[in-house]
């Protein structure tokens, strides 16, 4: 009986600690700029991702959680990304226009810079800033890119769900993400200014 009493006290203390951690991590999610120990709250939120996603879906918008986690991760990774040198830029194929003439390859879309969408412009800017850019149709090729190119920094451009998922898998790397302004897998949109600002972080003029 005494053993169970001790277990009971320990469990109660552990439960209180868990409830406190969960509450504080949700506060960090709501006010990411002011949260200390950002990477710690990111870890807590990753553990709780599935039940939190259900909760956010239940109240109307599961994407809110992904967007908020990406913001928190960006703030947590900002310094490391800013100081990274060898960088890779991963953009989604869904930004392409309806009549995009680009061919697909193992390394992603081979953009011809036809001017029908924002990808050509981003490709030019990425080259000037010495990023290795890939326009991808999915995330399963990303581990091969990371293994082959061994980047210090990875700039991601995608919908918040994909950004959060990839950042979770690449948690050892200095990742920084830009969320699309308008998603939906087809004719998606992003402000090129927003992407350029992220690309230039730590690179001066």
Q: Which is nearer to other proteins, 120 or 202 (CB)?
A: 120
Whole-number minimum distance, CB 77 to other proteins, in Å?
24
Whole-number minimum distance, CB 66 to other proteins, in Å?
12
Q: Which is nearer to other proteins, 32 or 108 (CB)?
A: 108
* Binding interface with other proteins (CB under 8 A): 1, 3-9, 11-12, 50, 93-94, 96, 98-100, 103-106, 108, 136-141, 159, 183-187
Q: Which is nearer to other proteins, 46 or 152 (CB)?
A: 46
Whole-number minimum distance, CB 132 to other proteins, in Å?
18
Whole-number minimum distance, CB 10 to other proteins, in Å?
8
Whole-number minimum distance, CB 53 to other proteins, in Å?
11
Q: Which is nearer to other proteins, 29 or 180 (CB)?
A: 180
Q: Which is nearer to other proteins, 59 or 185 (CB)?
A: 185
3 state SS for the chain: CHHHHHHHHHHHHHHHHHHHHHHHHHHHHHCHHHCCCHHHHHHHHHHCHHHHHHHHHHCCCCHHHHHHHHHHHHHHHHHHHHCCCCEEEEEEHHHCCCCCCCEEECCEEECCCCCCCCHHHHHHHHHHCCEEEEEECCCCCHHHHHHHHCCCEEEEEECHHHHHHHHHHCCCCEEEEEECCECCCCCCECCHHHHHHHHCCCCCC
């Amino acid at each position: 009986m005494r053993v169970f009493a001790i277990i009971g006290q320990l469990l109660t203390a552990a439960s209180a600690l868990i409830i406190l951690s969960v509450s504080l991590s949700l506060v960090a999610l709501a006010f990411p700029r002011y949260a200390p120990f950002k990477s710690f709250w990111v870890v807590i939120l990753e553990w709780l991702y599935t039940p939190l996603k259900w909760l956010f879906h239940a109240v109307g918008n599961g994407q809110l959680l992904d967007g908020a986690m990406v913001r928190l991760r960006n703030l947590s990774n900002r310094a490391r990304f800013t100081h990274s040198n060898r960088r890779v830029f991963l953009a989604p194929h869904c930004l392409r226009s309806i009549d995009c003439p680009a061919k697909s390859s193992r390394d992603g879309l081979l953009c011809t810079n036809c001017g029908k969408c924002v990808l050509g412009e981003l490709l030019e800017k990425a080259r000037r800033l010495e990023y290795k850019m890939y326009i991808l149709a999915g995330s399963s090729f990303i581990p091969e890119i990371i293994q082959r190119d061994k980047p210090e920094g990875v700039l991601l451009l995608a919908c918040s769900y994909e950004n959060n998922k990839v950042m979770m898998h690449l948690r050892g790397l200095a990742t920084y993400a830009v969320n699309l302004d308008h998603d939906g897998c087809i004719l998606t949109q992003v402000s090129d200014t927003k992407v350029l600002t992220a690309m230039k972080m730590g690179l001066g003029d």
